[in-house]
Structures are given as C-alpha cells and as structure tokens.
Amino acid sequence: MHIIDSGNVAAATGVKLSRAQVIAAYPITPQTPLTEKLSEFVESEELDAQYIPVESEHSAMGVCIAASTAGTRAFTATSANGLLYMNEQLHWAVGARLPIVMCVANRGIGAPWTVWNDQQDSIAQRDVGWIQIYANDHQQIIDSVIKAFRLAQAVSIPVMVCYDGYLLSHTYMPFEPPEQEKVDNFLPPFATKHFLDPENPGNFNPVTLPDIRPGVDGKIMPGYIEIRHNLQMDLLAALDVYEEIDTDYKKEFGRGGHPFVEEYKCDDADFVAVCIGSLSYHLRDVIDSMREKNVKIGVMGVQIYRPFPNEAITRALSGRKHVIVFEKALSYGNQGALYADIKSALYSCEKRPTIQNFILGLGGREIKTGQLLEVLTEACNSPGTAEDTPRWIGLKL
Amino acid sequence: MEKKTTTVNLTEEEFVHPGNRACSGCGLSIVYRMGLKALGKNTILVVPPSCLTVLQGLYPVASSKLPVVNVTFASTGAAATGVRGAMKALKKTDVNVVAWAGDGGTSDIGIQALSGACERGEDIIYICYDNEAYMNTGVQRSGTTPQGVLTTTTPIKGKLQKKKDVPSIIAAHGIGYVATASAAFPLDFYDKVKKATTLPGPKYIHVHTPCPPGWSFESRYTIKIGKLAVQTGLFDLYEIENGQFRLTGASEKLIGQKRKPVTDYFATQGRFKSLDKELVAGVQEQIDAKWANY
C-alpha cells in the first residue's frame, strides 16, 4: 500500500523496518524530521530501539561506533557541517569495520551558511572508505536504507544513504513501505563475528605497527598497511555483493535491478547526461523533449558512488559520442569529482566518448529545466568543442 | 559506613597481565590494576588515546583481560553511552560500562561528550586519571596542569593559568556520585570504584596519578609524592554522593590537623622549579582558605 509522505519519513520507515537497535540523533536541517520521526517510533514502541539524543554529530557517530562494536545494529543521520564534524569518526567507523548505516540529507556547506541542497557534504567524504549510495526518489530512499543494512553487515563496511535535502527530504511523494515480515526475511537479525563481550574479551582498535607481527599463539597478524589493503579489496568486492543484494531485493519486493547506474532512454543514445541524485529524474523531462526532436539522448543516474562502479560506467558509456556530467559539488581546485572519476573509468576503453562537465545548483540555486535543455542542446550540437574546465550553469557574475 | 578494603581482604584476582608498556613508577599502572580488580570480569572498557592506550599494548597482544574498545579522543563519553545503549538493547543488565581517560582527554577535548553523557544520566562509570599534562605525547600542558608547572608547551615561565576543577564541573551536572582518589591510596580508590559499580546513573572518579618522567622525579617516589599531594591539602580525597560532600580517607584525617606546607610537595619535582616565592605563598594561602571551609 502506498503512502504519501516526505523523504525523511521514507528513510525513518526504512530504519524502523530494518529494526535498528541503537539510534543516535543530533538535529541538523534538513535531516531533522528523520530523527524526529524515529523518536516518535521509539516512544510509541513501534520500534524497539535505544534512542540517544546526543550533544553533537561527533558524539552521534561515537555512539554508533561503540554500539556497533558491542554487537547491535546502529543508525544515525546528518547533513552538511554535521557530516563534516563527524569526519574523524567516519574514518574510525570504517577502519574498525563496523556495519553502521547513516542517512545524509544532502546540503551545501558553510561558510557562508546555507541550508539548501547541493552534494558537497557527502562528495567531500568520498575518500573515507564508507560505501555511498544515492537515492533519486522516496521509494529508492526506503529501499536503499533496507538494502544498506544488509550490505553493511555482509561486507563489514559502513554505508551512507544520501538523498537531496528539501528536494527529497521535505517533498511529499508516494512510496510503498515493504511488509515487515518480508523485510525480516530479507534482513536477518544483526550478528557480527567479533564484539565486546566479557566472556570473550578482546582489545578493539589498539595501536598497530607498520609491520606484521605474531600474536601470543604465534599466528601472524596484519600490520596497518595490510589492514587498509584488506579494506580496499573488500570495498571493491562490495560491488558484487551489492548486486546480489539488489537482485534478492527485486525478487522479494519487485523493485531494483539497477544497483550501480540507472539508465533512462540510453539504449540507442549517442549522448548521455550523467549525474547523481534527484537531478537524474529532473533531467528525464528534458531528455523526453529532446527525444521528440529526434536527438538520441539519454540520462544515467549514478546509484553507488563509492566504491565507484568503474565497469558499469564503462559499459554504459563506451562507444557513445558525448557524455555530459552535471554536478552539485566540486573537487575544489580541480573539476567535478564525478567528472574526474568518469574520465578515469573511460581511460581504458577503446571507443572513448568526448566528455564535458557542468556545475550547477550549489547552495540550492534553482535548476531550471530550460537551462538544462539549453546546455544539453548546445552540447549535442557541438560535442567536439568539449572543454576540460567545468562550466557553471546559471551563474550571475 | 561500608567496610573498607584492606590488603588482607583485597581480591587476589588480577585483570591486568604481568608486564605491560607503562613507564616504571607509573601511577596509572597502580590504579589500573586496582580499578580492574574492583570492577571485576563483567566489565567493558572504553579508552581514548592516552598513556593507557600504550599500557594496553600493541596489536595483536593486550595487557588486560577485559574487553576494551579504543575510541577517538573526543568521543569517550559518547562511546560509553553507545556501549550502554547496546547493553540495554541486548537486555544485558549486569555489565559495568567504564570509560577510562586521561586528564587531557577528559578536561579538554573530551569534556563535551562527558558532559552530554552526564546530562543524559547514562549508567556509566567514568574514571579520569589525572597526571596533570599530556604525558603520552611528551608532557604538554593540559587544562588540569597546575599553575606554574613547566611543560614542553610552557617551558620557561610555567603554566600561567590555574588547574581546571573537573570534579566540580562534573558535580554541577547533579549526578549521583563524584569522587576523587589518588594512586598513593590505592585501597581508597578501590573502594570508590567498587561503590560506583553499585550505583545507578553516571559516576565520575578523578584519580591523581603521579608521573615520574612528566613530573620529573625518580620512579621510586611515586607513592611518596602522591601522598604529599594529599598531605599538603593540594589534592583532596572526597566523595560527593547525591550532592553531599565529604572528605574521605587520608584527607578526612587531616581535618583539624596541621597540614604539611605545599613547599614540601613542590620541592620533590623538577616541574615546579620555576615557581617563584610569591606564587608559592599564593598557593599556600588558597589551600589554607580552602581547608578553613572544611
């Protein structure tokens, strides 16, 4: 049965259905209604969880790190500067290989203050080692949260589920919450191999030397570099795990089937617009109107950004004439981060398309359909003129 | 009053393995051993970066027999909260959740998370071992370094500011149990930790731990110097239980007695060598005024 509510409520419902056991919460716009909803679920006893209203985002992740180490399913959510305030803790959570799930309602970063949407917050955290999944609508938010808990547990790596602030977090849209019984079947109770236990004591996250070292039983244990190498290997392997999880989800709930990239009218496309988040749905209208004028164009939304789905990207874009990457974030001093990643993915393919980068919507600047149509039309008319310097859409200097 | 523990009836069970990486004469290694005895097996420890991280050993070996989670410097109070939250979620009611941090990790970078945990009334024991500077990083001044003390970041004139009174700050949260203790009086510390395991809500114990390399004294004088801090009235042993303050142990015995002059204490350590007479006289006056109120 469909309900109509906000993206934050879709996320909270996903967390409830996933039976999170410890929830740490600190308010920040536009994430706040998500944790408010969770407090309601816990107080009304719809969700049997510990709701901990902490004093900062750094502490929110501190609670999740400890609760996860102690053997429980932990969740928190944040936005913008709150996510940045967690940065140290994000590294710690992944280094400790904890299956924490966090929602990020994407928002621009201060200074100067802004509460509106762009994706600089989570893109700036791309290198911490967390898995990053991006949802394009409310249904994807709730489905991604449930899948994220299973993925995190399967690979012992924390997962961020990101969605656009306000555009999704506060907008009301229909979505279908899966049945609890089916979710329980899809997502078994939380269990980890190692956890804090007086019956089986261990020292978690101690000082580790650069080199390998034998333990008291003579068994050789990894040094720091081996531990980090294992993380990298497991992150890359997580793509296959996520594909399996997505396939299972589709089997159970009928939704999914595009874990890495979601393509729209791309089958015969010479031109492909690429982006992350709700913009890919916004772009569908533009693509439709260009298709009416017989321009062979499609749009591709990147669904998982870390680990980067190199193969899926190469498969989707190889042999196209021209790729246009739209981004609501930058790797400052260089280019759009997604743009650079896509170029890197395409480097090894023989039929390399030309590629172009547009920056737009920073700090919630309205993205007008007319502007998108204009730049896409120009890009399709003269694809050979692509520059490597990103162009900014709607800039009023 | 509860029966005091003595060397005769102290449990022989050990939770710290023989041999660890602490410096010789380390005050922390005394209280860590005694504290773990008092806490017993059903305990989970939360430890931020500090000398304790070093004492506990390098992966893959460990010097204690209790489960430990090492956490980021600023997050100790939150991490203890998370462990307690998990215990509640798992319906494990008999586990002591114990945060064990240094004075820098408590009075400076960690105070926000500790304050949050106290305000929420988390059922945790927080032990701050106070060696009065950042000893693990090589003796830099902390919020609890006393005035006039030489450290590597106050190398010539000594620290200009007074010691931050952390137990009073924590007591102001209105939690049920705040106590101070000293490595020089380990059985008093043991009894306070033991008591903390029986009380609900947040418990805070601030324990003074002399540090031979950081304070610049010979390692054989740890207990003597720890005792002098108490006997001069500089560091007082007390409990604040449900808001009621009372001196305990060696400090209680000093009431109405002549205390040793603070100069006796200052003379034992190289870190005080740039104290001038005026400052010493000022400190003696403050101590006398404080004790006049006891």
Given a cut of 60, whether residue A13 has pLDDT beyond it is yes
Helix (H, G, I), strand (E, B) or coil at A297: strand
* Residue that has been written with the tokens 């806490």 in this structure: B39
**Of the candidates A78, A71, A73, the residue with the CA atom closest to the CA atom of residue A28:** A78
Mean pLDDT of B285-289: 97
* Domain limits, chain A: 3-186, 262-392
Query: Does B18 map to a domain?
Result: no
Structure ipTM: 0.97
The verdict on a CB contact (< 8 Å) between B62 and A54 is: no
What's the topology of domain A262-392?
Rossmann fold (3.40.50)
Q: Assess whether the region A3-186 and the region A262-392 belong to the same CATH fold.
A: yes
CA A233/CA B23 separation, integer angstroms? 39
The verdict on a CB contact (< 8 Å) between A201 and B74 is: no
Mean pLDDT of A359-373: 97
Nearest CA in chain A to B84: A67
- State how beta strands A3-6 and A22-25 pair: unpaired
The verdict on a CB contact (< 8 Å) between A206 and B53 is: yes
Nearest CA in chain A to B82: A63
Query: Does B37 map to a domain?
Result: yes
B61 touches chain A (CB under 8 A): yes
**Of the candidates A196, A224, A212, A216, the residue with the CA atom closest to the CA atom of residue B63:** A216
The CATH number assigned to the domain holding B209 equals 3.40.50.970
Q: How many CB atoms lie within 10 A of CB A380?
A: 19
Question: Considering CB atoms only, which of A52, A205, A219 is closest to B81?
Answer: A52
Q: Are B74 and B109 in contact (CB under 8 A)?
A: yes
Query: What is the CATH number assigned to the segment(s) A3-186?
Result: 3.40.50.970
Query: Does B240 map to a domain?
Result: yes
pTM attached to this predicted model = 0.97
Residue-wise pLDDT for A177-201, tens only, equals: 999 999 999 999 999 999 999 999 9
Calculate the average pLDDT of chain B: 97
B88 interaction partners in chain A (CB closer than 8 Å): 50
Tell me which residue range forms the domain holding B183.
27-293
Q: What is the CA radius of gyration of chain A?
A: 21
The whole-number pLDDT of residue A387 equals: 80
- The number of distinct structural domains making up chain B is 1
Q: Are A325 and A356 in contact (CB under 8 A)?
A: yes
Q: How many CB atoms lie within 10 A of CB A130?
A: 24
Question: Considering CB atoms only, which of A62, A68, A88 is closest to B78?
Answer: A62
Nearest CA in chain A to B90: A72
* Residue that has been written with the tokens 């002399």 in this structure: B210
The verdict on a CB contact (< 8 Å) between A55 and B115 is: yes
Query: Does B2 map to a domain?
Result: no
B81 interaction partners in chain A (CB closer than 8 Å): 52, 54, 59, 62-63, 66
The whole-number pLDDT of residue A327 equals: 98
Residue-wise pLDDT for B166-191, tens only, equals: 999 999 999 999 999 999 999 999 99
Residue-wise pLDDT for A68-124, tens only, equals: 999 999 999 999 999 999 999 999 999 999 999 999 999 999 999 999 999 999 999
Taking the CA of residue A49 and the nearest CA in chain B, the distance in Å comes to: 6
